[in-house]
Amino acid sequence: MVRFVIIGIVIAVAFTLYALVDAAMTDGSRARGVSKPVWVVLVVLLPVIGGVLWFMIGKGAPPAQRPTPPDDDPRFTGTRMSSADLDSHMRDLEQRLRDLDAETFPGEDERPASEGEARGEEQPGPDDDTAQK
């Protein structure tokens, strides 16, 4: 029975120390209810109860951070492109897309084969009488 009491005391002290360090190291803007020094005093004076109150009530969510914009995109930096710059930028993008569309990869033919050519069948020519039926 004494072992359980000692284990309980060790757990309570560890929890209280964790709550004390967390309350002391947390940014003051996250403390809810009362100020941060008051929370530290509460955790010290009410060992387990103060820690539970700190985690349940006192520690608020971190403030939302605004994402930092990329520096190379004028839509995010607040600067506007002139119409000439915008036209030039659009021409460059369209040219890049045309280059990508014209690109062939290893193993690709220049023209797509029809189903008959893929199976090795002969295709009817324009002067074959089977093509006119």
Whole-model pTM: value is 0.47
Bridge-partner residues for 59, per DSSP? 31
User: Does 6 have pLDDT greater than 90?
Assistant: yes
23-58 tens-digit pLDDT: 999 888 888 888 899 999 999 999 899 999 999 998
Indicate the pLDDT class of residue 61, thresholds 50, 70 and 90. Answer: confident
Q: What is the DSSP string of 7-33?
A: HHHHHHHHHHHHHHHHHHHS-GGGB-S
Give the pLDDT score at 117: 55
Alpha-carbon radius of gyration of the chain: 36
69-122 tens-digit pLDDT: 566 665 665 667 788 888 898 999 999 999 988 888 787 766 655 555 555 555
